[in-house]
Amino acid sequence: MLLLVTAPATRALEYFRLVDAGDLPGVLALFDEQIVYRRPGVPPLEGKAAVTDFFQTKRGIARSVHTVDVIAVDGDRVVVEGRLQAELNDGRALDVRFADIFWFAGDLIRRRHGYVDAPLA
């Protein structure tokens, strides 16, 4: 993994560490009040209250481990690619590639768009 030591890159990596630790207050502290959080299969979540509700009631992941392979920084935008291994709430295992894009407003994440490799139906 190539590591770019910039404030946005460090904050993006911290996001994955906190998600994997199950530290929702820590995750929320990284977000701007007007966060727009996009994830496959879910309408855009706007604001910290919507993100909180999603993580507490709809995320469906009991445990996760994100392994970052690539991180790229372009101004206020950070792109991260890697592997997600997780245990779903129903006990099934998940092992997928992911890419997340973060847009920053100062030190806080203003937008986050997540993508995962999934089999085509």
Would you call 121 exposed, middle or buried from its count of C-beta atoms within 10 A (0-12, 13-18, 19+)? exposed
pTM of the model: 0.90
Cβ atoms 68, 84 nearer than 8 A: no
What are the tens digits of pLDDT across the range 29-74?
999 999 999 998 889 999 999 999 999 999 989 999 999 999 999 9
Q: Which CATH class is domain 7-116?
A: alpha beta
The first and second tokens of residue 62, run together, are 């009991």
d(CA 51, CA 3): 28
**pLDDT per residue as tens digits for the range 90-120:** 999 999 999 999 999 999 999 999 999 976 5
Query: How many CA atoms are closer than 13 Å to the CA of 61, on its beta-carbon side?
Result: 16
Residue 115: C-alpha distances to residues 6, 39, 62, 97 (Å): 23, 7, 19, 9
Contacts of 53 (CB under 8 A, 6+ apart): none
pLDDT digits (tens, 9 = 90+) for 79-97: 999 999 999 999 999 999 9
pLDDT for position 7 = 87
Terminal CA-CA length for the chain: 32
Spatial separation of the C-alpha atoms in residues 52 and 13, rounded to whole Å? 20
